């Protein structure tokens, strides 16, 4: 589903110079979805969650497309640029998943009352 979001083919950053991204936008977006679904209230909490060495977290990282945990600063920089439109779409998709019983709300909290 994330692959359906149209991203610039060259990972353009609006004409800004600098180092190219190590993590593609789709990977960062998947991490952001994990943050919303698990109701992690900060980028630091997301980083700490992914850094825990337990089998379930390794599966989550693999699902996000990560081979190693990005730094907290990477999350800080990259998650700031996600537009409100995408945040609203993520919340709507999460709500749909819960209504359609695709995900279990006891495991993944609803995104309706989550502060984006």
Q: Is residue 12 part of a domain?
A: no
Go through the chain and tell me how many residues it has: 116
Closest C-alpha among 25, 84, 26 to residue 92: 84
C-alpha 45/C-alpha 85 separation (Å) is 23
C-alpha 87/C-alpha 32 separation (Å) is 9
C-alpha 83/C-alpha 32 separation (Å) is 12
Q: Is residue 87 part of a domain?
A: yes
Q: Is residue 84 part of a domain?
A: yes
The total domain count for the chain is: 1
Distance of CA 50 to the CA centre of its chain: 11
Q: Is residue 6 part of a domain?
A: no
- Per-residue pLDDT of 55-104, as tens digits, reads 888 889 999 999 999 999 999 988 887 766 677 777 777 777 778 887 77
User: Residue 30 belongs to what domain range?
Assistant: 22-116
Q: Is residue 47 part of a domain?
A: yes
Closest C-alpha among 75, 28, 78 to residue 48: 75
Q: Is residue 44 part of a domain?
A: yes
CA distances 51 to 58, 71, 95, Å, are 9, 10, 27
Q: Is residue 15 part of a domain?
A: no
C-alpha 57/C-alpha 54 separation (Å) is 6
Q: Is residue 90 part of a domain?
A: yes
In this model, does residue 6 exceed pLDDT 60? no
Mean pLDDT of the chain: 77
């Amino acid at each position: 589903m994330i692959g359906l979001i149209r991203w610039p083919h060259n990972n353009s950053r609006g004409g800004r110079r600098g180092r190219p991204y190590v993590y593609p936008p789709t990977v960062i977006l998947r991490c952001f979805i994990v943050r919303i679904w698990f109701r992690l209230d900060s980028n630091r909490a997301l980083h700490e969650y992914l850094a825990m060495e337990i089998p379930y977290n390794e599966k989550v990282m693999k699902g996000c497309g990560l081979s190693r945990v990005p730094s907290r600063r990477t999350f800080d920089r990259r998650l700031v640029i996600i537009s409100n439109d995408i945040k609203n779409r993520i919340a709507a998709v999460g709500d749909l998943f819960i209504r359609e019983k695709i995900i279990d709300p006891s495991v993944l909290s609803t995104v309706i009352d989550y502060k984006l």
